[in-house]
Homo-oligomer: A and B are copies of this chain.
Amino acid sequence: MGELKPHQHGTRRPAGRVTMETVGRIAGVSQVTVSRALSDPSKVSGETLRRINEAIEQTGFVPNAIAGALASQRSRLITALVPSITNVVYSSFVKTFGDRLRDAGYQILLSETGFDLKQEEKVIETHLSRRPDAIMLTGIRHTARARRMLLGADIPVVEVWDVTDTPIEMCVGFSHAEAGRAVADFARQNGFERAGTVTANDERAHRRRDAFAKRFTELGGQQIAEHNCAGPASIAAGRDALSVLLDEKGFGTGVIFCSSDALAQGVMIEAQKRAISIPRDLAIIGFGDQEFAAHLEPALTTVHVDRDQLGQRAADAILGRFDGGAPTENIVDIGFEIVARMST
């Protein structure tokens, strides 16, 4: 194999590599002029520009953003970290976030953290090695080392999907405790006496659950049972959860607050299989307001979070930091809204 190769060293460049140097040579200008033609065409004469563009066309030159980033100390990359990319709640939000930043000339480097702080820490390190110009991450809880790295990176940091008085730098989201309490208020106002919860393995969901249970009992209701799912939220998990609540945890009738619409749908389906009347004998409240929630039969009462607004505001927070200096608003609470439908 080795003996067939014409030369073993010296030629690291595989012949085909087109650089600004190549383009410049063809256009009869220096490499810097090519760089200028691309970054600010007005700095180059019309004729030169024409020849350069011709050479680019001819060679199929695509600028090397890696070299550009190293030289300029700006990667034009922005990190987005979400718990799960297959969860529409997060992916739709990232889409809005990304579209906004793409328009501003940035590219998104997306990864998932799996609702796990330790995994988040590792992912953060990997991402920071790419020297992103900013970082958006889901949640306000992070490991100490993650926090240290974030601070040390010296770039804009936005934490989303939650709010705190002490963000690393900026946060855009809503209070999960308040959401839980609001649902409890809603449930009591609607006359439900007994409640249960079905919660995915997600710290923010846990906070909603706990705030719900506390308030619900404070208001004279009875918190009967809770079921916490091990894996990710799914319809199957929701069905299973209701079975457990009914068959093992002594839950009879009342309202069930689920940490996601998918779980709520599962609960609803299981209830229907068992011919339990909704909402008469069992009322169901979801979280997230995904598209299907409004179309279920009965339509699902749930908590709506404006994910588009969240994406926009998070992107704006970053962009503001880029051309501004200190952020004017570094804590943004976008709130939430209980959407009352037929399942309660």
Contact = CB atoms under 8 A, between A and B. Distances in A.
Given A109-B109, A154-B14, A129 B86 contact: no
A65 B126 CA distance: 9
Interface in A97-111: 107-111
A33 to B, nearest CB: 19
**Which bucket holds chain A's interface residue count?**
35 or more
Interface in A127-150: 128-131, 148-149
A38 to B, nearest CB: 11
Q: Give the number of times this chain occurs in the complex, counting copies.
A: 2
Interface of A: 12, 14, 16, 60, 62-67, 69-70, 73, 75, 85-86, 88, 91-92, 94-95, 107-112, 125-126, 128-131, 148-149, 152-154, 234-236, 239, 265-266, 269, 272, 291-292, 295, 297
A65 to B, nearest CB: 4
Contact of A86 (B95, B128, B266): B95
A13 to B, nearest CB: 9
A327 B235 CA distance: 40
B130 A66 contact: yes
B272 A292 contact: no
Contact of A65 (B131, B153, B235): B131
